[in-house]
Amino acid sequence: MLRISADPAELDFERVHAFLRDSYWAAGIPAATLRRALDHSVCYSGFIDGRQIAFARAVTDQATFAYVADVFVSETHRGRGHGRAIVTALLADPRLQGLRRLHLVTRDMQRLYAGLGFEPLGQPERHMQKHDPDVYLRG
């Protein structure tokens, strides 16, 4: 059974870093950069038998906006509802209530997020980004 915790002391930083540095969205992220990111985010960890197998975080001002990021479930535990469970727990966090907008980017999990109330961008032409995909290579 998945146990979910928002306690930063329980987060297995090495496990989270190992997964994210090999992910398509955060490939090569330096440990110091990830540490700084996690220190400034609402983080949730999922555990089975004491081992962290899932993670999700939100970057937020805790008043108007949050960006859901770095959601993962280890490969051997996928397909069992753990992704939905950890994102549901994250979205229920008191710090994320009453926000005007929650945003995320995903390559392949649209179905999961649609089931949690997310929808494609309305008026995507209004959304812009400044993206530096090589920033970790220069760090």
Banded model confidence at residue 97, pLDDT cuts 50, 70, 90: very high
**CA 27 and chain centroid, separation:** 14
pLDDT of residue 108: 93
For residue range 105-133, what is the model confidence (pLDDT) as tens digits?
999 999 999 999 999 999 999 999 999 99
Taken in order of first residue, the domains within the chain and their CATH numbers are: 3-111 (3.40.630.30)
Whether residue 41 contacts residue 59, with contact meaning beta carbons closer than 8 Å, is answered with yes
pLDDT digits (tens, 9 = 90+) for 48-82: 999 999 999 999 999 999 999 999 999 999 999 99
pLDDT digit string (tens) for 21-57? Answer: 999 999 999 999 999 999 999 999 999 999 999 999 9
Inform me whether the pLDDT recorded for 138 exceeds 90.
no
For the full predicted model, state whether its pTM sits above 0.85: yes
CA-to-CA distance for 52 and 135, rounded, in angstroms?
28
pLDDT at 77: 98
Q: For the chain, how many helices (H) and strands (E)? A: 5, 5
> Which residue carries 């995903």 as its tokens?
106
Is the pLDDT at 139 greater than 70? The verdict is no
**C-alpha–C-alpha distance, residues 59 and 71, integer Å:** 12
